[in-house]
Structure 1
């Protein structure tokens, strides 16, 4: 496999978890060809939480990378973009990397660095929900999406707060190498295999309160029956609650509706079947619960802007290339 170089840009006051996420997901594995370098404008960086990091590369590493990732930064463990100006040399390096065709990614408040470099002008982007208004106020040319996990604008990608960086990095692996490899990595780090970027990044009750019953068992039950017709009344009966309560609880726990969640799960299964089997498009559509080949093509076009046949051709090669 062709080596795909990933440069993670470390800035003073960066959030430790934001840095760790891309290092973990793009770390060396037999099934991928990512090569990660931590680079910084100086040889050492002060990390939020009270420790210092020795960077292995300078800003020139951004120019030799295919993907550049900017973690969230600020002071302490909670990112505070207004507390740390981005050095001009960093802004120049980011602008140059973009001009030279690099893929540029931000996690959490790293979006402020991309915006300051002019990379987000005219594009949709997101950041931590606490700082979305601030991003919009400072950079009015950016279309700020508040209620999403991440935004994919092709070669410019941004994620919402902290752990949404996991979703975005797995999305990038899925784009590069397909659903099977992305799901293998997700299982390895014990993360959700796939959350669509359009889900809400912040929900008012993400954890069930004492005495409440989470819908995790119902979702697991549904995942084992994706090939079957599944309705809201069926899900509600399994969960032992009214349909109205199910809809409310589902939105609280996942940030989306049961039917949209089912569509996303079925698309994920379809992608795995296309990558790992030689089943016909009709059989894939049947086994993932999307019914017909025409229906599968419709959803693939809407969600992935491709066809099932083109997707299979791209992700069933012997030696997938993450630089594609």
Structure 2
């Protein structure tokens, strides 16, 4: 797995997390991609690959673009974080990055490779062998956080279930639930380090006090604090009622967090802006026929951006194919950046 070095550019792994972050974070903020400052480390930790690959033009020491081959434990993969600075586009740097990522997938015998793209990029990836999922797209939706919790419609959840802090649920069960819904085995993502992040909160709806298997988890979600508010996802649930309960619980907590930020919250992170208004955003999986309608019922609206989920040679994970659990149980994904 050598670096790519052609007449125009060198593609190599970022030297360390600091170099990767110094390139990635300004690009995220300038593009308005609304990610947490802490996300990059989580993305890299989830993968078995060499991490973030950067493109460095000859005659320069400064990277101008990045991409990653995110490779999960079961030989599934995702084309992640593919960005080239606007002033460096059209010079072959993006092609070199993409070729390096595909080579890394080949070197690791990755059997299933996916990505999410906006409509303007869809034809480009079709020429590269990617085929759109027949189940649907990802619809970006948002909810404006009101000034008090009374603005949320009352809802009486099933009293036979318990709402618990996501950090109290065994992480290996959340990883198994994620695998069941996505087909991605990413236990290194759903780790103690991830759930100890200061910018994260979440909930699970469970049966009883002893959660010993995924069958005891009726729904779960997490939210990360970002410059414009929060990003919600994933949202997995056994039915619409459980999904509604878990989403609404997160919405209510977001209001409380805005009104009274916790002392360990990333609200005070010096690298995160404090905007005048706050929203919760999510990438809704419209392959589930009930997902978009549920979010709309809860007061969410589309932001005018859809992602097309595509798979190399049209080969998806069974969980995200027709008849898979994603069809009925996935309401929002974790993050289009890594699937």
TM-score by length of 1: 0.30
TM-score (norm 2): 0.29
**Larger RCO (alpha carbons 8 Å, 6+ apart):** 2
Higher fraction of helix: 1
